[in-house]
Every structure is written in C-alpha cells, then in structure tokens.
Amino acid sequence: MSGFTEEQLSVREAISKICSNYPDEYWMEHDQTGEYPHELHRALAKDGWIGIALPEDLGGAGLGISEATMMLHTISESGAGIAGAQSIHANVYATQPVAKFATPEQRQRMLPKLIAGETRVCFGVTEPNTGLETLKLKTTARREGDFYRISGQKIWISSAQVATKMVLLARTTPLEDLKRPSEGLSLFFIDFDKTAPGLELKTIKKMGGRAIDANEVFFDNYKIPADTLIGKEGQGFKIVLHGMNAERCLLAGEALGLGYAALSRAAKYAKDREVFGRPIGMNQGIQHPLASAYMHLEAAKLATYHAARLYDQSTHDKSITQNAVGLACNSAKYLAAEAAFTACERAVLSHGGMGYAQEFHVERYLRECFVPRIAPVSREMIMNYVAEKALGLPRSY
Ligand SMILES: Cc1cc2nc3c(=O)[nH]c(=O)nc-3n(C[C@H](O)[C@H](O)[C@H](O)COP(=O)(O)OP(=O)(O)OC[C@H]3O[C@@H](n4cnc5c(N)ncnc54)[C@H](O)[C@@H]3O)c2cc1C
C-alpha cells in the first residue's frame, strides 16, 4: 500500500474497520442462503460512504473515483468479494452521470436520499437480444405528454429486487430513423416500483455472488415522469459512458481485492500445511505460481490506479482526452480481472483438496472472479477496443 495518497489510505483504514464486522463466514453464509447483505449497505451509508464520489453540496464526500476504487478494492479484499462490492457499487458508478448531467433540481431530488441510504439504485443496460451491442438496445421509452412509457426487457440486472430506483438506458428514436446510431438512446433515473403496473422481475440463478440478486426485468408500458430524463434526449449513450468508465475502475479494484484475498489465504495455507515433513510452501512448485500471481496483481494495481487518476483528472484537465481515459479504464479492468483469476485459481490449487471445500473460502473467490472477466464488458470487447483505439487497427465489430 505504499505510494497511495493520504485520502486513499484513510478510506482504506475506515472501510477495513467497517468490513471487519462482516468476516468471511458472513459472506459464505450469505452465498449459501442467497440472503442480501443489507447490513453492509446500511453501515456504509450510515458513515457516508455511498456518496464517496458525489458532490459535497448533495451530502457526498466530494472525493473521486481514485478513492472509490480504493473503497471497493478494500471491501472485496476483506473477504466480501465481488458480492460485497456489488451490494453498493452501482450506487457509486451509475450516479456519476446523474451528478454530472442532471439539472440542479434533479440532482437535489435524486441523489441526497441515495447517499443517505434511503434509496438504492440498480443499473439497467444489458438486454437479452442485443448483448454487448449496446447501440442496438431495443427497450423503448415512448413520450406521452409529461410521461414516457417504457417497454422491453433487460437482463442481468443486479440488486433489482432491493433497488427502489433504476438508472435506465432506453431507446427514444428508432434505429432506422437515425443518421448516427449513437444518438437514439436516452438516460433516465426512474422510480423502480415493483408494485406499479408494467414492471416484472424474474431472478436468475447464478454461479457465484449469490447474496446479490440478478434479474430479468420486463417493462410493459411502464409509466415514468418525463422529468426523469437525464441530459438531452438522444444523448444517453454519451452520458452513460461517463459512468461506464468509472464502473471499469471500480470493477478493477474489486478484482484486485479478491485476488489479494485469495493470495493471502494461499500463502497462509502454504505455510501451515505440512506434507512430506515440511510446509508445502517450501516447494518452489507452490511458491513460484503464487509469486507470479502477486506480481501480476501488483502490475494490475498500477494500471488500475493510473486509470482512476486519469478519470478524476480528466474532469478538470481538458488535455486528457476521453479516448485516453477509456483506454486506461478498459485496460485496467482487463488486467485486474485476469490477475484476479490467476490468483484465485492458484489459491484453490495450493489448498489441494481443501481448495474445493467451502470452509476455506477460496472456491467462493474463484466462482466470483469470473464476474469482472465477463462484466461490464467482456475480455474480447476490450481487446477489440484497444486494437482499434490504441493501435489504429480496423474496427472488427
Ligand atoms: C453477475 C453479473 C452481473 C451483471 N450485472 C449487470 C447489471 O447490473 N446491469 C447490466 O446492465 N448488466 C449487468 N450484467 C451484464 C453484463 O454487463 C453482460 O453480461 C456483459 O456485458 C456481456 O454481455 P452478454 O452477456 O450479452 O454477452 P454477449 O454479447 O452475448 O457475448 C457473448 C460472448 O461473445 C463475445 N463476443 C461478442 N461479440 C464479439 C466480437 N465482435 N468479437 C469478439 N467477441 C465477441 C463476448 O466477448 C462474449 O464472450 C451483469 C452480468 C453478470 C454476469
């Protein structure tokens, strides 16, 4: 942890203290029962951490994504893993575009309650039939006087069962009427009222992070007020990118935390477990893969905090282009997710048979470390993006 700012280190200390109330056993139990970790969300909200990267005039801490990344990194490393991080992370990243592009009246209406923990948000982008092709999203928002009617389907929406708000990306202009495909989508910050007509949810059973619900969401003429539109109609894709780069940094931090947690468990086991009359950690066959995993995590850590710093600086230094920020955030998310996977896999293997037992926790880490490899953008799409934007190769998709 050398080389970090005082602010980042004090975030780490305070968050570690809160997370120490929720040990590995808490997360193992919640993973088994699927019960939502409400206590962690409440504890973080109580001390003002949900608004870590939101403006002070709204009740936030006014810090940046560099500090928010440290927060998610620390939560994940505590043993809470991706599940613990997912219980709050959309509230941190999906609110970034709202804070930046909403009107002053909207910001006051939408954000202080969320920062106080009274409301919770989920992020509604992914759809079953368009996948990573975000510009083809089919869910529509049709204007009717002072309202819009939402129709369509979203998938993989995390925390939708507990959220009372949604940051929603929906189509306001049909694709065929557009000159530029990037201008048909709009961003909304909506009430997510499961008792209202036209909104239904179906839970998806999943591999890991089972404490956090994942859902299919069905909208059928669901009515929302027109003043929930953030920014201009048709500009939603550009606006949401602001939150997506932040999301990549947070996910990178979460992956790092999980990787370090796995490695620390592996090193402990390798010191304690004796076979052939000596600790298994005396064998280079155990040591070297762990040392290599450590170095990959350290390299990814540099990339992650570099990306977060660029993101923060770009808000006031116009010489930092959005292209540079996008490249750094995508690269960091890729590298951290891969380094976490390596660390988690090696941690399981270092435990031998016990790596497969729930009581040593590393099997849970391994199941969870697939999330940052897949979401919010896959490894392949990051490769496509980097090939095009950094190397100038022809667009392949
Ligand atoms: C646990 C979890 C939580 C999630 N939470 C949320 C959430 O809260 N909100 C939300 O909106 N979404 C959420 N997601 C969705 C997630 O962002 C998507 O699953 C992810 O973006 C991948 O999209 P897809 O599943 O549609 O993959 P697809 O688009 O179907 O892609 C499938 C595979 O094909 C590859 N592929 C596709 N096209 C190309 C190409 N041109 N070149 C190379 N490879 C290609 C992809 O890389 C991928 O490996 C979550 C997902 C998971 C697993």
Q: Over range 61-72, report the average pLDDT.
A: 98
Q: Are residues 370 and 248 in the same domain?
A: yes
Q: Are residues 296 and 324 in the same domain?
A: yes
153 belongs to a structural domain: yes
Q: What percent of the chain has pLDDT over 70?
A: 100
The angle, 0 to 180 degrees and rounded to 10, between the axes of the packed helices 236-272 and 284-314 is 150
Check: CB of residue 324 under 8 Å from CB of residue 390: no
Task: Name 379's Cβ contacts closer than 8 Å, sequence gap at least 6.
Answer: 334, 337, 338, 373
Q: Are residues 283 and 343 in the same domain?
A: yes
223 belongs to a structural domain: yes
Check: CB of residue 154 under 8 Å from CB of residue 125: yes
**Cα 270 to Cα 283: distance, rounded to the nearest angstrom:** 9
The predicted structure's pLDDT at residue 1: 87
The predicted structure's pLDDT at residue 379: 98
Distance from the alpha carbon of residue 9 to the mean position of ligand 1, in angstroms: 33
Residue with tokens 């613990």: 84
Q: Are residues 194 and 225 in the same domain?
A: yes
221 belongs to a structural domain: yes
Task: Name 205's Cβ contacts closer than 8 Å, sequence gap at least 6.
Answer: none
**Cα 175 to Cα 286: distance, rounded to the nearest angstrom:** 54
Average pLDDT across the chain, whole number: 97
Q: Are residues 100 and 140 in the same domain?
A: no
Distance from the alpha carbon of residue 145 to the mean position of ligand 1, in angstroms: 35
396 belongs to a structural domain: no
CATH number for position 101: 1.10.540.10
Q: Are residues 76 and 210 in the same domain?
A: no
Q: How far apart are the first and last CA of the chain?
A: 39
Task: Name 271's Cβ contacts closer than 8 Å, sequence gap at least 6.
Answer: 279, 281
pLDDT of residue 125 exceeding 90: yes
CATH number for position 302: 1.20.140.10
Q: What are residue 140's phi and psi, to 5 degrees?
A: -110, 150
328 belongs to a structural domain: yes
Protein residue whose Cα sits closest to atom 4 of ligand 1: 156
Q: Are residues 28 and 49 in the same domain?
A: yes
Q: What is the pLDDT of residues 279-325, one digit of tens each?
A: 999 999 999 999 999 999 999 999 999 999 999 999 999 999 999 99
Choosing from 203, 234, 265, the residue where a domain stops is 234
Q: Are residues 286 and 189 in the same domain?
A: no
Check: CB of residue 114 under 8 Å from CB of residue 88: no
Q: Are residues 242 and 336 in the same domain?
A: yes
Q: Residue 248 belongs to what domain range?
A: 237-389
Q: What is the DSSP string of 119-130?
A: S-EEEE---TTT
Q: What is the pLDDT of residues 95-115, one digit of tens each?
A: 999 999 999 999 999 999 999
Check: CB of residue 50 under 8 Å from CB of residue 44: yes
Domain count, the chain: 3
Q: What are residue 204's phi and psi, to 5 degrees?
A: -100, 130
Q: What percent of the chain has pLDDT over 90?
A: 99
The predicted structure's pLDDT at residue 72: 98
The predicted structure's pLDDT at residue 275: 98
Choosing from 94, 115, 136, the residue where a domain stops is 115
User: Beta-carbon neighbour count of residue 39 at 10 Å?
Assistant: 13
The predicted structure's pLDDT at residue 97: 96
214 belongs to a structural domain: yes
**Cα 24 to Cα 211: distance, rounded to the nearest angstrom:** 13
Q: What is the pLDDT of residues 296-305, one digit of tens each?
A: 999 999 999 9
Best residue for ligand 1 mutational test, from 123, 378, 383, 388 (most atoms within 8 Å of Cβ): 378
243 belongs to a structural domain: yes
Q: What is the pLDDT of residues 148-206, one digit of tens each?
A: 999 999 999 999 999 999 999 999 999 999 999 999 999 999 999 999 999 999 999 99
Q: Over range 225-240, report the average pLDDT.
A: 97
Distance from the alpha carbon of residue 396 to the mean position of ligand 1, in angstroms: 17
pLDDT of residue 329 exceeding 90: yes
pTM: 0.97
Q: Are residues 35 and 46 in the same domain?
A: yes
pLDDT of residue 257 exceeding 90: yes
Q: Are residues 15 and 143 in the same domain?
A: no
Q: Are residues 229 and 269 in the same domain?
A: no
pLDDT of residue 366 exceeding 90: yes
Ligand 1: lining residues by beta carbon, under 6 Å: 122-126, 131-132, 156-158, 214, 371, 374-378, 380-381, 384, 397
Protein residue whose Cα sits closest to atom 20 of ligand 1: 375
Best residue for ligand 1 mutational test, from 82, 123, 132, 240 (most atoms within 8 Å of Cβ): 132
Choosing from 234, 264, 289, the residue where a domain stops is 234
382 belongs to a structural domain: yes
The predicted structure's pLDDT at residue 12: 98
User: Beta-carbon neighbour count of residue 388 at 10 Å?
Assistant: 14
Distance from the alpha carbon of residue 359 to the mean position of ligand 1, in angstroms: 31
The predicted structure's pLDDT at residue 218: 98
